[in-house]
Amino acid sequence: MSFFGKKISDESLVSGIKKRWLTSNCGLILDSKRIFHPVWRVDSILFDDFLSGIERRSGLSLGRRLAHASSESEEWISIVSKNSFPKGRNPDRWKNTRLDWLERGIGNFELLDDGDEIRFLVKYPLNGPLCSGVFTANWERATGKRHRFRWNHNNIESLILMISEDDMKIPQPSRISLPWFYEKPIVSQSKGLDFWDSLDVESGKFWSIMGRRFAMINQDLILRFEDYFLPYLEEIHEGRKDSFIWVGVDKKRSLLWTIFSDTIREIFYNQKHHILISENTDWAYVSKRHLERQGLGKIDSVSSIDEFGGIEISFSSCYHPAIFSGIMSGCWERANGRSVKCNFSYGKNSNTIKLVSMNEIYLD
């Protein structure tokens, strides 16, 4: 890759990726360039399956909602991070922004036409709506003006993004409060995770681990996506409806969190992971492998609550309770061979989930 004659090697990008994304004491991954904001290190195929599962269960299209949430989130995090880039109408000169995209693993871009409707080629996008929203926010920050945007997929490896100036006055986004207990994470070097084992860079495209493409998704994006999605959500059309209980969470958000959790649970279960539990301390290893490596959080403590594998898990922070609960529900089902019921609650000092068998078990 080169930026106006200055070549950046794949080795430099690998080094930058490793330095930027930091592990923490509570199992979150933090963005050192953006106020240490939590991110989800997600497999690109899993992310696609996650979004598809949300659409099926909700009966709603999420493209525009995800795009606007992505744009708003990108604007907010750029403001609070006090980024001075990008600047100007020539994306070829956006060295720091391009590097940001590559380090996040979301794709690359180039300008096609700068007319009344400006056209861009977004190459190797992680997700069309998400990348369209992120780039539009970048363009608005570079030009200081609001824009409308739309996109068409050119082929599987690119899309055409079309942007036109808009006179609409839209206020700057504000911080979103987390509807669960969240203890501020402390940067730490997690041991025994092999966090960047087999990291490889596809020059100018994306990065992968063990041959699978990964990317970093901001926590704030998921929260804003919720806010764009909730007004239109009425019911769950597919999947389990009564497997998850969300204590202290309003009815509409509970519906959406159930959709999130059941989608992730099903994806995880179908991946056929081997989860072997002989005692409660084994759950700590499960947490490291299936939560902490992805930046979703980690278990602080676990205790048995019945004779049939039921457990109560406490944790101080997480990327998102619904994703955390969905992964742990999938782990429990793989370990016990039965459908699970999950109960989430939070208090002043921690979050708690209880995982028990969906159906009652009777002893003779």
117-135 per-position pLDDT tens digit:
999 999 999 999 999 999 9
* Cα distance between residue 287 and residue 45, in whole Å: 21
Tell me what pLDDT residue 8 has.
Answer: 56
On the question of pLDDT at 1 being above 80, the answer is: no
On the question of pLDDT at 9 being above 80, the answer is: no
Tell me what pLDDT residue 84 has.
Answer: 78
On the question of pLDDT at 52 being above 60, the answer is: yes
Tell me what pLDDT residue 7 has.
Answer: 52
Tell me what pLDDT residue 363 has.
Answer: 53
* Cα distance between residue 220 and residue 204, in whole Å: 26
Q: What is the mean pLDDT of residues 275-285?
A: 95
Q: What is the pLDDT of residues 302-336, one digit of tens each?
A: 999 999 999 999 999 999 999 999 999 999 999 99
Numbered ranges of CATH 3.30.1380.20 in the chain: 239-357
* Cα distance between residue 89 and residue 87, in whole Å: 7
Tell me what pLDDT residue 19 has.
Answer: 95
- The secondary element (H helix, E strand) that includes residue 301 is strand 301-304
From the CB of residue 19, how many other CB atoms can be counted at a distance below 10 Å? 11
Q: Which distant-in-sequence residues (6+ apart) come within 8 Å of 198 by Cβ?
A: 209, 210, 211
Specify the CATH number for 2-165; select among 3.30.1330, 2.60.40, 3.30.1380, 3.30.1490: 3.30.1380
Q: What is the mean pLDDT of residues 1-17?
A: 70
Q: What is the pLDDT of residues 162-203, one digit of tens each?
A: 999 998 888 999 999 999 999 999 998 766 567 898 999 998
Confidence of residue 63 (pLDDT cuts 50, 70, 90): very high
Fold of 239-357: Muramoyl-pentapeptide Carboxypeptidase; domain 2 (3.30.1380)
Tell me what pLDDT residue 136 has.
Answer: 98
Average pLDDT over the chain, rounded to an integer: 94
Q: What is the mean pLDDT of residues 66-92?
A: 94
Tell me what pLDDT residue 153 has.
Answer: 87
Tell me what pLDDT residue 4 has.
Answer: 40
Confidence of residue 85 (pLDDT cuts 50, 70, 90): confident
Tell me what pLDDT residue 190 has.
Answer: 62
Confidence of residue 40 (pLDDT cuts 50, 70, 90): very high
Alpha helices in the chain (DSSP H): 10-20, 44-58, 63-80, 95-104, 128-143, 219-229, 251-270, 282-290, 321-336
Q: What is the mean pLDDT of residues 251-271?
A: 97
Confidence of residue 5 (pLDDT cuts 50, 70, 90): very low
On the question of pLDDT at 361 being above 70, the answer is: no
